[in-house]
Amino acid sequence: MRRIIFALVAVVGLAVAGPAAAQSFTLSGTATVEGDNVKLVSDFSDAVATNDFGAVSFTVPTGTTLGSLTTLSAVYNVTDDDCAGGSPRFQINVGGKNVFVYLGPSPTFTGCAQNTFLDSGNLVGTSDACRVDTSQFTGGTQCSTWAAAVALLGSQAVTGIQFAVDGGWKLADKEQTVLLRSVTINGTTHTFGPDDGTAGGKVRPGHVCNALRARMGREAFNELWSTSGTRNGMGKCASTMAHARNAGLTHERIMEALAECIAAGRTGAALGACVAARDAVSATLTEAKEAKQAKAAKRKRGKAKGKNK
């Protein structure tokens, strides 16, 4: 376990810069931001074509190639009815065509738990047969692995990536609805709240923890945070983030403290205590305590002065 924990230091370190700004994504089709999520609907129950699909598009740095992608993951919720028809999926834009990466359980990419937020885990490097589709390219195939796709197209430039939903046609009621909570592409986690991790300048614990779980994968996240190493670690993560936020820390400082504590080998309850005990946290608490004491002393002097009149 210690080897896994130290390996996660680099992952958390990448999160110090925080999630991507809201302008790093664009919406098309039926995609709309609702609270902390993007809602995407594919409705083939009518003759209207404009509601057949929804997509979220993400920019990537110039020079990104298919072979240079290290992380591609999503936290999503199929609320109606299932993963189906090759949807939801990632579309990786290469030379005006797309490499498709399908979400949902292998090998059929159907059977997604309904009304449950699912973590795809990192799809880069997946060995699942047929999860990757390179059929739009010469020499490609509809049923491919990540390694085969990189062998075919690894040196070619990636110009953008979309999370797409258009599988309503495949379902009995002709409708598919998906909520997208976050997408991670290499070192950037995209979330969709008011300011992606903070609200009114305050850290949003749920955003931070969801982004970490998306980056690490559920198993590693739980091993890091939960007391037993097997149960859901979200509660412990959120309470630690909330405690640090209430102490006045910024998102950046919290992530720095988290990386330091992971590097020291802390996990579970000890990790939460370590983050809360970092110098910046202690300094903030000390400043607040001193300010409170100064205010009380001032009131005391005021009362004493009034008695002496």
* Whole-number Å distance between alpha carbons of 229 and 209: 16
Domain match, 82 and 132 both = yes
- Residue 297 lies inside a defined structural domain of this protein: no
Domain match, 48 and 112 both = yes
Domain match, 136 and 269 both = no
Domain match, 211 and 90 both = no
pLDDT band per the 50, 70, 90 thresholds, residue 307: low
Domain end position, chosen among 140, 164, 190: 190
Domain match, 160 and 119 both = yes
- Residue 15 lies inside a defined structural domain of this protein: no
Domain end position, chosen among 146, 162, 190: 190
Question: Cα dihedral angle (232, 238, 241, 246), rounded to 10 degrees?
Answer: -150
Calculate mean pLDDT across residues 245-272: 74
- Residue 246 lies inside a defined structural domain of this protein: yes
pLDDT band per the 50, 70, 90 thresholds, residue 198: very low
- Residue 183 lies inside a defined structural domain of this protein: yes
Domain end position, chosen among 136, 169, 190: 190
Provide the CA 197 distance to its chain's centre, in angstroms: 10
Calculate mean pLDDT across residues 57-75: 94
* Whole-number Å distance between alpha carbons of 120 and 113: 12
Give the pLDDT of residue 289.
55
- Residue 123 lies inside a defined structural domain of this protein: yes
- Residue 3 lies inside a defined structural domain of this protein: no
Residue 79 belongs to what H/E stretch?
strand 72-80
SS3 label, residue 175 = strand
Domain match, 28 and 122 both = yes
Is pLDDT at 22 greater than 60 in this prediction? no
* Whole-number Å distance between alpha carbons of 103 and 161: 14
- Residue 16 lies inside a defined structural domain of this protein: no
| Tally of domains within the chain | 2
SS3 label, residue 271 = helix
For residue 295 the two structure tokens come to: 């205010």
- Residue 140 lies inside a defined structural domain of this protein: yes
Most confident of 16-30, 106-120, 232-246: 106-120
- Rounded to whole angstroms, the maximal C-alpha distance in the chain is 95
Domain match, 51 and 184 both = yes
pTM of the model: 0.60
Is pLDDT at 3 greater than 60 in this prediction? no
Domain match, 186 and 204 both = no
Domain match, 249 and 206 both = yes
Structural domain range at position 125: 22-190
For residue 173 the two structure tokens come to: 């009621």
For 80-108, b where at least 16 C-beta lie within 10 A, e where not — what string? Answer: bbbbbbbbbbbbbbbeebbbbbbbbeeee
Residue matched to tokens 């969709």: 192
Calculate mean pLDDT across residues 205-230: 72
Structure-model confidence comparison of residues 83 and 242, the more confident one: 83
Predicted confidence (pLDDT) per residue in 95-140, tens digit? 999 999 999 999 999 999 999 999 999 999 998 989 999 999 999 9
* Whole-number Å distance between alpha carbons of 283 and 74: 36
Which CATH number characterizes residue 163's domain? 2.60.120
Closest-CA residue to 98 (of 67, 66, 123): 66
Domain match, 186 and 205 both = no
Is pLDDT at 286 greater than 70 in this prediction? no
Domain match, 219 and 261 both = yes
* Whole-number Å distance between alpha carbons of 136 and 9: 38
For 267-280, b where at least 16 C-beta lie within 10 A, e where not — what string? Answer: bbeebbebbbebeb
Domain match, 206 and 167 both = no
SS3 label, residue 267 = coil
